Amino acid sequence: MFLEALDKILVAHAGSDAIRRVEAGGSAALLWQPIEDAGFLALLLPEEQGGAALALPELFPILECLGRHAMPLPVAQTIAAHGLVGPRARLPTGMVTIATQLQRLPAGGLRCPHTPGGSIADHVLVADGDAMLVLPCAAARRESVGDPRSLAAHLTWSDAAPSLRLPSGGLALDAFAAALMAAQLSGAMQRSFDMALDQCNNRVQFGKSIGKFQALQQQLSVMAEHVLAAAIAAEAAFRASGVAPAALAASVAKSRTSEAAALVAATAHAVHGAIGMTDEFDLGLLTRRLHDWRGAYGGEHYWNHRIGEQVLASGVTLADWVLQV
């Protein structure tokens, strides 16, 4: 029910033209308001707070749907932030992104580097040890990171005054951020594969569809393997009964989806040829998200290192550790 409703909203309001307008610095209200008005930001909140009390496994297809539509706004982060804060407090209205790094500056300020959605969000939720802070982005200096269309930014507060501080929950922030990005990567990769498959079936060369050529079939087969493996890993991160995904499952999900993202993006463009590189073709919206989300909250090398630390700390062989997991 929720998935079908969200998909209809995104089809109606989050088409490629609307996404390009937001990426170019236009108002995000036409994308954001229908999602907020339909109550999707409160999916994880209890019913007494106007939410849907959705379980994590039920949230996964919602996040995948956002990925399929190349959603540029921090909708997924806002949903997760409301779920992590829960009934303990009420978040300020507006877009809430998540930062996984908090730096304290010598002069007393705060800095959240490489924050996805930081150039457009109204607030940022960040861990301070086990505590969580909600910081107003309007009071921060925003520095765009990389391609401005990614909407990521460094956020710096010279005189930080959190609008909300919660004493616990910060330790779950990393895992949730990694898992929600993995779910969106999975959705974007699935749509990229669908577009590549359509191109192979419909593009005719030398009297037959290019999908009949063995070289293209090989590329599509490898691409499909990575898309499916990434989807399985991402979905596994949400097989949890708590308020946030488990740390290990989230680590594996982000590692596997980030690893697959580069190959899927490259293969999709190889299949489409020159048309895939044009600005007006929608493939670029998806593959740009794949590269942005691949590095957001840490790429595969970062998460592989985190997984390796857990293996070494376990004191057992890798084979035994895998059996325990």
What is the CATH architecture assignment of 172-324? Up-down Bundle (1.20)
| Position 210 pLDDT exceeds 80 | no
pLDDT at 222: 95
Q: List all residues 6 or more positions away from 138 whose beta carbon is below 8 Å from its beta carbon.
A: 122
Task: Decide: helix, strand or coil at residue 207.
Answer: coil
Q: What is the mean pLDDT of residues 128-146?
A: 94
Looking at the chain, the domain(s) classified CATH 1.20.140.10 span 172-324
DSSP secondary structure of 105-173: -TTS-EEEEEETTTTT-SEEEEEETTEEEEEEGGGSEEEE-SSGGG--EEEEESS---SEEESS-GGGH
Q: Above 90 in pLDDT, residue 114?
A: yes
Q: Point out the least confidently predicted range of 63-72, 163-172, 286-295.
A: 163-172
pLDDT of residue 325: 66
Q: In terms of Cα–Cα distance, which of 117, 42, 57 is closest to 245?
A: 57
The pTM score is 0.96
Phi-psi sector, 162: left (phi>0), alpha (psi -120 to 50), beta = beta
- pLDDT, residue 246, reads 92
More confident residue, 322 or 136: 136
**3-state percent helix, strand, coil for the chain, nearest multiple of 5:** 60, 10, 30
pLDDT at position 242: 83
Residues 135, 140: Cα–Cα separation, whole Å: 9
What mean pLDDT do residues 228-246 have?
93
pLDDT (tens digit per residue) in 153-167: 999 999 878 889 999
Do 120 and 155 touch, CB atoms closer than 8 A?
no
